[in-house]
Amino acid sequence: MNSPLSHKENYFNLMLNYELADSREKLNSFTKKLARQRAFVLNTETTGLDPFTIKLLGISFCFEDGKAYYVPCLKSEISNLKSVLENLKIEKFGHNLKYDIEVLRENGINLSGVAFDTMIASYLLNPGTRAHDLDFLVTTELKKKIMPLEALMGKGKTKIPLGQIPVQNFARYSCERAEATWWLTQKLKLELQKANLSKLFSKIEMPLVPVLAGMEAAGIQIDSNLLKKYSGRVQKQLSKISEQIFKMAKTKFNLDSPIQLRQILFEKLKIKTDGLGWGKTGISTAAGELLKLRSAHPIIDLILEYRELTKLRSTYLLALPKLINPKTGRVHTSFNQTITATGRLSSSNPNLQNIPTRGDLGKIVRIAFVAPPGTKLISVDYAHIELRIIASLANDKKMIEAFRAGEDIHTETACKIWGIKPKEVTPEIRRAAKTINFGVTYGMGARGLAESAGIPLDEAQKFIKKYFEIYQGIKNFLEKTKFSAKKFGYVETLFGRRRYLPEIDSPIRQFQAQAERMAINMPVQGTAADIMKLAMIKIAQNLSKISPSSKMILQVHDELVFEVQEKEIRKVAKFVKEAMENVVKLRVPIVADVEVGENWGEMVKLKL
DNA sequence: AGACTCACG
DNA sequence: ACGTACGTGAGTCTC
């Protein structure tokens, strides 16, 4: 049997040579050499993917063309490298450095001087595409191939665990990746400059990397007993609801299957399907469609209740306790920096950005996110940040006026549109104004407004017409944005973050219209994301001085959550609010509201 | 793997 | 005439 490395002729060998620092003498001389560098690529190798459970195997380095070094790691070797890795003045390059920061942190090293991440550079150049992994970049940017992990480990039954691969082979694999990253930093740096993205990269995205690493490492505590208690209760409730549904349908079926449900509702029970939405396979049974059928059959309400409960049970009550890290007793999400098309973060394993806010059971889930004894959670969220941004970007006189008045923006909007006093604004009028204020950042049409505000189509049309007569600046801004998207093929945020929109010229109307809505939304959503990222960087830099025990633990797009010692609450809340509100100057004030509580579900406003 | 549904901002 | 709001991640079914 050939060793996996016999495949090497299939791969372009990037590297001229590599050195293995596998003795005390070699390591000492290598460390001295490393300490003389202005910058280097590092690439940690581990036994798995989760930085909080895996073991460090080694680190490869590259700081010159055609040469790389591998240090197999034991504790003593790590300590030898510590001062260089922690030296702020030596720039660190890498691919997905958040991972390296976390791995090294677990090994007692505070990686500093993080300066260039090729994954993030690739993302800024091409946001909204998922492939930013090293192998993809080497293929597309360098037109070369590096050894895939499979060549090293084998696959299927003969797969060798990473920790058992001969160090010579592993060193080559790792060094090749370090060198590829070295080449990529040089190529991508130029591309960033050409696209005017260098400042966004160095002032926002790169400084954010260690901030996110810190948040992930901090994690959040979860009361898994509470979740388990309710998952049992919900299970019993679900059995009852299912029984009732089966009785009404006069048959048992799989309630979790939209196909079977559709067949029962529309063929067996013959519920009218007029005006219902369609999916690719037939009539939709989504909640929004079923809601229209509530008066047609009592089974509908039961199905909606079943859906709500199963969703919450499987996605939250059952899933979250499984993700508690046994070492820390906390849940450590991943904040992904290279996923979204607009510049927002995303969260996964678990997603802590879609924890329920509504409903009784939803609230229970939030209540299970707790602060340890002696501490509390502080939540600070931007108030109407996207609307403030569109007012500012559009320089809309009337909307800026409305925000400067400091009153409720939806009420203000209703007043301006109908020429009435705040006292005369009914809850219904306010709700309609809120919907359109909200929808304007999405490029909403009359139909969408009618649907979500629950008003007739002709009324929605009149409403939109009036809206743009009052907010002319917004109207002009939307037109200008679409025009610019067509002219340049991309749109950008206040800080120059780009989103390319190739479909803006599509001959297919639907695609073009969709691209236009994306063009409208991205500068708004993206600028909000930029501002939040800047705030997070500013807060992370100063929080350790103001309150070393306090931790920033979550970001939910317009909200930041902190875990803070009870005595320090006011001090930290005041600092965070001030930082978030003043990190950027817009044409309107930016406002952030503070809440405090023992858990994420029962928080009260904090006046400062 | 893709479709559907639904949780969030 | 036509589709009809932006951005995500996850659980489940179906093929």
pLDDT of residue A80: 87
pTM as predicted: 0.93
User: A167 exposed, middle or buried (CB, 10 Å; 0-12, 13-18, 19+)?
Assistant: middle
Number of domains present in the structure of chain A: 4
Strand B lies under 7 A from the Cβ of residue A128: no
Q: What is the distance in angstroms measured between the alpha-carbon CA of A444 and the sugar C1' of C4? A: 9
What is the predicted pLDDT for the residue at A119? 96
Give yes or no for a contact between A599 and A366, defined as CB atoms under 8 angstroms apart: yes
Regarding whether A583 and A459 lie in a shared domain, the answer is: no
A477 and A493 together in one domain: yes
Residue A318 sits in a domain whose CATH number is 1.20.1060.10
Q: Is the CB of A336 under 7 A from strand C?
A: yes
Q: Check whether residue A437 and residue A517 sit in a common domain.
A: yes
Segment A311-355, tens digit of pLDDT: 999 999 999 999 999 999 999 999 999 999 999 999 999 999 999
Domain span holding position A540: 371-383+529-605
| Residue-level pLDDT at A603 | 96
CATH at residue A542:
3.30.70.370
Domain termination residue (choose one: A480, A506, A526): A526
Are both A575 and A481 inside the same structural domain?
A: no
Q: Kindly state whether residues A35 and A163 are assigned to the same domain.
A: yes
Q: What is the pLDDT of residues A481-507, one digit of tens each?
A: 999 999 999 999 999 999 999 999 999
In three-state secondary structure terms, A213 is helix
| Domain endpoint, select from A457, A492, A526 | A526
Q: Is A346 part of any domain?
A: no
Q: Are A490 and A355 in contact (CB under 8 A)?
A: no
Dist CA A92 CA A87 (whole Å): 10
Are A451 and A515 in a shared domain?
A: yes
A397 inside domain: yes
Which residue is nearest nucleotide B7, judged by alpha carbon to C1' distance? A354
pLDDT digits (tens, 9 = 90+) for A511-565: 899 999 999 999 999 999 999 999 999 999 999 999 999 999 999 999 999 999 9
C-beta separation of A504 from A517 below 8 A = no
Q: Are residues A8 and A135 in the same domain?
A: yes
Strands (DSSP E) found in A504-571:
551-555, 559-565
Residue A552 covered by a domain: yes
In a domain, A352, yes or no: no
Which is nearest to A23 in space by CA: A62, A67, A79, A72? A72
pLDDT (0 to 100) of residue A157: 66
Same domain, A270 and A414: no
Which class for A406: exposed (0-12), middle (13-18), buried (19 or more C-beta within 10 A)?
Answer: exposed
Please check whether residue A513 lies inside any domain of the structure.
yes
Same domain, A518 and A555: no
> Per-residue pLDDT tens for A11-31?
445 555 889 998 899 999 999
Evaluate the omega torsion of the peptide bond into residue A321 and state whether it is cis, within 30 degrees of 0: no
* Model pLDDT for residues A204-219, shown as the tens digit of each residue: 999 999 999 999 999 9
Question: Nearest CA to the C1' of C2 belongs to which residue?
Answer: A510
Nucleotide nearest to A518 (CA to C1'): C6
Q: How high is the pLDDT of residue A15? A: 53
The set of strand B positions with any atom below 7 Å of a protein CB reads: 3-9
Measured distance CA(A183)–CA(A171) in Å, rounded: 18
State the average pLDDT over residues A452-476.
90
Distance, CA of A438 to C1' of C5, in Å: 9
* Cβ-defined contacts of A238-241 (< 8 Å, 24+): A238/A306, A238/A309, A238/A310, A238/A313, A241/A302, A241/A305, A241/A306, A241/A309
Could you tell me if residue A338 is inside a domain?
no
Q: Tell me: the pLDDT tens digits for A146-183?
A: 888 878 777 666 777 777 888 888 899 999 999 999 99
Q: Judge whether A68 and A60 are in contact, CB under 8 Å.
A: yes
Chain A 338-367, CB < 7 Å to strand C? 339-342, 344, 346-351, 353-354
More confidently predicted of A381 and A17: A381
Looking at the fold, whether A440 and A498 belong to one and the same domain comes out as: yes
* Judgement on whether residues A295 and A214 belong to the same structural domain of the protein: no
Strand C atom within 7 Å of A287 CB: no
Residue A437 counted as domain residue: yes
As a whole-number percent, the residues of chain A with pLDDT over 70 amount to 97
The answer as to whether A350 is a domain residue is: no
Q: Quick check: helix, strand or coil at residue A528?
A: helix
- Could you tell me if A11 and A100 lie in one domain? yes
**Domain end (from A510, A526, A542):** A526
Residue A294, burial from CB neighbour count under 10 angstroms (0-12, 13-18, 19+): exposed
Rounded CA-CA distance A446/A453 in Å is 10
Instruction: Determine the nucleotide nearest to A362 by Cα–C1' distance.
Output: B7
Evaluate if the CB of A242 falls below 7 Å from strand C.
no
**CATH number of domain containing A400:** 1.10.150.20
